[in-house]
Chain A
Amino acid sequence: MARNAATKELKPRRIVVGLAALPSSRAALRAAADIAARTQAELIALFVEDANLLEWAGLPFAREVGLTSAVARTLDTVAMERRLRSMAQEAQLALAEMARGTPLRWSYRVARGALMTELLAAAAENDLVVAAAVAEWTPRRLASSAHAAVLLVQELVRPGTPVVAACSSALPPVEAARMLQNMSGMLGHDHEVTVALLCESTEEAARWADEVRKSAPDLRLHVVTARNEAELQTRLAALRRPVVVLPEAPPGPGAPQAARSSRPRSRRRSP
């Protein structure tokens, strides 16, 4: 009963999904829509037009080398803007199609900047951020920057797909227990969770795990320890699972939502 109450209390308020000109964006959108439908949370889709790409397209020697054809094509800013706009529209249509005939509440925004920065700015505590993995944003960087859990998606995540939670021992165990329980419920894992823990000593890691177990006794916890960021990356790669990065220090309840909100250019809400 207590657990149920906790789960209900800690149910994500919103699912914020980041979309960009990346192949895994569609998988991220599907995963987010799926989780939102299951948890009856609101889905916020944020398409980020990568400012770097626009800058790059403006360079006189900008050439795009095709991923499959290996042919180098010239580009300019206008063409890139057009393409990004088209992708944004396509993503919006895809979302509308997914939501058709379902009770899913959703909204759609377009912003310009860097994907992760814009996404993290748009998310508030108790939100779940879903995004395609970006090389510069390592789990460590994400954990220290985010104030909401971030699910990194490479391919489709279905209910029951095993995931690994990456976090630092700086995260208070009580908060970690709450978030892990929440994540387990969201992803349909029947309270079995693997955690890749960034911690300097194994003893400290064991203590941290014990504290978490105390706070969430019905959670079956498997902890994999990494002493530094490189080791954490290796561990995560070995596990070959989607990663949920837990924030190191989430702000307390009542923190303002989307304090550093992006500059939405368009907005649409489902009826």
Chain B
Amino acid sequence: MTSKPLPRELSPEALRRACDPGQFAFETTAELKNSFETAGELKKTAEVLGQGRAVEAIRFGIGIAREGYNLFAMGREGMGRRTIVRAFLERDAPRRELPPDWCYVFNFEVAHRPKAISMPPGRAQKFQADMAHLVEDLRTAIPAVFESDEYRNRRQEIESNLGEHQESAIGTVGEHAKAQGIALLRTPAGFGFAPIKGDGVMGSKEFAKLPEDEQKRLEGAIAELQKELEHAIHEMPKWRREAQRRLRELNREVIRAVVASLIEELKSTYADIAQVVQYLAAVQADVLDHAEAFQQSKDGETPTLFGIPLPQADTSESTLRRYQVNALIAHAPAEDGGGAPIVYEDNPTHANLIGRIEHIAQMGTLVTDFTLIKPGALHRANGGYLILDALKILTQPFAWEVLKRALRSREIRTESLGQALSLISTVSLEPEPIPLDVKVVLVGDRRLYYLLHEYDPEFGELFKVAVDFEDDVARSPETDAHYAQVIAGIAQREQLRPLDRGAVARAIERGARAADDAERLSLNMRALADLLREADYWASVAGRSVIGTEDVQHAIDTGERRAGRIRERLREEILRGTLLIDSAGTRVGQVNGLAVAELGGFAFGMPRRITARARFGSGRVLDIERESELGGPIHSKGVLILSGFLAGRYVPNQPLSLAASLVFEQSYGGIEGDSASSAELYALLSALADLPIRQSLAVTGSVNQQGDVQAIGAVNEKIEGFFDLCAARGLNGEQGVLVPAANVQHLMLRADVIEAVAAGRFHIYPVSTIDQGIELLTGVPAGERGPGGAYPQGSVNARVERRLADFAARGRGAGSERQSRKSWRGTPPRKS
């Protein structure tokens, strides 16, 4: 009846590409340490396995010194992106020059714009200390000058001059008053005039006794004297200003020499840095203007309010702060060992990237100055490399924008977020921007890279080097050996017990399983390291000094068990009959599909009942999942393909007059993917042909319009999911799974599955076409069209075609009936 033989079930050997421990020349991984020169070499070898493309991109990105050639290291989590990039940067960094130091100093011309000074590495801290010493020296030298007899005499001369001037002016008024019998009194806040009587002041009663004329004379005289006094007092500020000017000039004159000698010494030390020399000249001029700030603090009178001392800002200290140096970036060549810096910023906020301007509370307000400018990651990485997590920087407010701005403008402009967004308008600092020369490495997943490329027009300009990390590598004896070295490297770095050959082989097999491909190995180094750490723990529990196969297997099993609560609950529900899944018997229009669920990084397969019902209709296959909005677009696409298959294969010259419905029974969540499309087709064919399907088999695979079965993902989990159910119910030798033949190369099944297959208690069939599958499921040949164009009698296809032909005939009948009803009604009259 059929021309093509049914596929043979897979042999145990085809179910898993085992790693032969015999291929390794070592007994344990401890021996591998000696195979390499240094630990660094081992590390390097370990980390670049299978990442040739990425390594090439990193080398290119590091090497090219052009604008915009920053790197984006993309790939899945755990692929070692950060570690590999950092390893290469660390190798390159020492070959580059140590970047210059940067200082912020006071800007004597525009106080709120601190000046940035660049100087050779290692000199910023020295400059900072030198300036501190200079201030200390000035604080000693200037008061000494002020204490000298010469200065004191000249100062006293100025002060006395002023005092005499003032006293003379007041005294003259007093003399005028005295001549008229009036005293000039010193009052708490000024002066007053009163008539004299004897040694004292005339009282009000005595005054009242005076003749009226005398009273008027005295009052008039006092009014005149008051005017005279007011005039004299009005003149005083002018004299005081003059005295202050003379005093300032005196200060400048006497300290000029001592200031010059101290600053000249510094100028000669920093003669090679023009900016510093220029700054020191400005300092010199400023010190002459603010000599009084260098006076030691006096026991001045503290202002009081109702007797309570008021806090007072130390003005001399705040004036002296202006001579400090903020060594923003100070490299220590002896300690750093030279080379470009490599900075990883774990928390790339706006402030942590470009620095921040801190404030201190003073007299109830927040104040700041250039000494409170703190560096950001860009400052620290300037002249070297900055590594950032793409997701972190994108989730921090305005951090991405500020990074792009800095890279675009090639300078670091430190400003608060409030300033940048013009949210605050209080006076703050605008530090002079620092030129930026940095290579940024963003580490993120591919989705972010493609999204940024798509939606951020600047991204492509600024991150021209894509470092694309592979997820897995092709498996070969060489790769296995290389992988063994990786394992040895991790064990060494993590200080784990050495692994014996069997354990290494088991870890490699696990790598293939993680890659979901018998012919590839996963490059997820984090997962591998976790497996080794856990295996080491179990070895320690077992009291072994070497990690064996059983320890690695135990680590795998316990890991799955820890994550497998939901899988077990689902299986339990099936065994209890809550979820209806048959694994024996036959049934029309019902097949066991296989679904896979991934929760918390743990994937597991589970059988699902798929049913189909067919009747005469309008040629539509109804996907209940889609109608109930539980099916994803790919699943819907798979179902629509079924209509195409049916229409193309059966009753080709007649319309498809079928109404069919398909459903994943007891599915309460979303269904996505087309891996069940072949199962759905089998159920539909069974329903149309009215042939029962073996429930001891489960099916996976997608199908195309030609009826070819195509590969799907997670084939191992799906097989094991059905196997576990059957095993729990008892393997009877009938059970098995139909998998796409294209998936055979991906099989890395568990040992217990392979044992069952070897014992003939479980079967795995590689299926290439729907015909092969339906024959295996129904036991009835599918049948091929004969020379006359008809399918062999009794075959599945003949039964299906006959049913569809019946539907089509009924469809034609219904069509002609509708047509006759239309004719009877007649055609509407044409409008003229």
Binding site for B on A (CB under 8 A): 21-22, 26, 30, 51-53, 55-56, 58-70, 72, 75, 83-84, 87, 89-90, 93-94, 97, 114, 156, 240
Contacts and interface: CB of A to CB of B under 8 A. Distances in A.
Contacts of A62: 192, 194
B204 A60 contact: yes
Contact of A65 (B188, B190, B195, B201): B190
B598 interface: no
Candidate in B190, B200, B233, B236 with the most chain A CB atoms within 10 angstroms: B190
A58 B203 CA distance: 7
Contact of B189 (A52, A60, A61, A67): A67
B301 interface: yes
Contact of A72 (B156, B226, B307): B226
Contacts of B185: 52-53, 56
B820 interface: no
Contacts of A55: 194, 200-204
A61 B219 contact: yes
A56 B194 contact: yes
B184 to A, nearest CB: 9
B60 interface: no
A64 B222 contact: no
B201 A68 contact: no
Contacts of A56: 185, 187, 192, 194, 201
A22 to B, nearest CB: 6
B229 A65 contact: yes
B233 A68 contact: yes
Per CB-CB distance, the 3 closest pairs between chain A and chain B, nearest first, are: A70-B233, A21-B188, A93-B307
Given A63-B193, A70-B229, A93-B304, 17 more contacts: A21-B188, A22-B186, A26-B301, A30-B299, A53-B187, A56-B201, A58-B203, A59-B207, A62-B192, A65-B229, A65-B233, A66-B190, A66-B233, A67-B189, A75-B187, A90-B307, A240-B160
Candidate in B194, B202, B222 with the most chain A CB atoms within 10 angstroms: B194
A232 B474 CA distance: 113
Contacts of B229: 65, 70
A155 to B, nearest CB: 10
B234 interface: yes
A175 B323 CA distance: 56
Contacts of A84: 188
Interface string B128-147: 00000000000000000000
21 contacts: A26-B301, A53-B185, A53-B187, A53-B192, A55-B203, A59-B195, A59-B202, A59-B207, A60-B204, A63-B193, A63-B222, A64-B189, A65-B192, A66-B190, A67-B190, A68-B233, A69-B233, A70-B229, A70-B233, A75-B192, A87-B188
Contact of A70 (B201, B202, B234): B234
Q: Interface residues of B toward A: which range? A: 20 to 34
Contacts of A70: 229-230, 233-234
A65 B230 contact: yes
B88 interface: no
B204 A58 contact: yes
A122 to B, nearest CB: 19
Contacts of B189: 64, 66-67
A157 B223 CA distance: 39
A189 B230 CA distance: 43
Contacts of A65: 190-192, 226, 229-230, 233
A102 to B, nearest CB: 14
Contacts of B204: 55, 58-60
Contacts of B299: 30, 156
Given A52-B201, A90-B307, A63 B156 contact: no
B309 interface: yes
Candidate in B160, B204, B222 with the most chain A CB atoms within 10 angstroms: B204
Contacts of B203: 55, 58-59
Nearest to B204: A58
Contact of A63 (B188, B207, B226): B226
A70 B232 CA distance: 9
Interface string B474-486: 0000000000000
B191 A67 contact: yes
B274 to A, nearest CB: 46
Contacts of A93: 304, 307
A70 B170 CA distance: 12
A37 to B, nearest CB: 13
Contacts of A240: 156, 160
A144 B191 CA distance: 29
Contacts of B183: 52
A22 B187 CA distance: 7
A233 B475 CA distance: 112
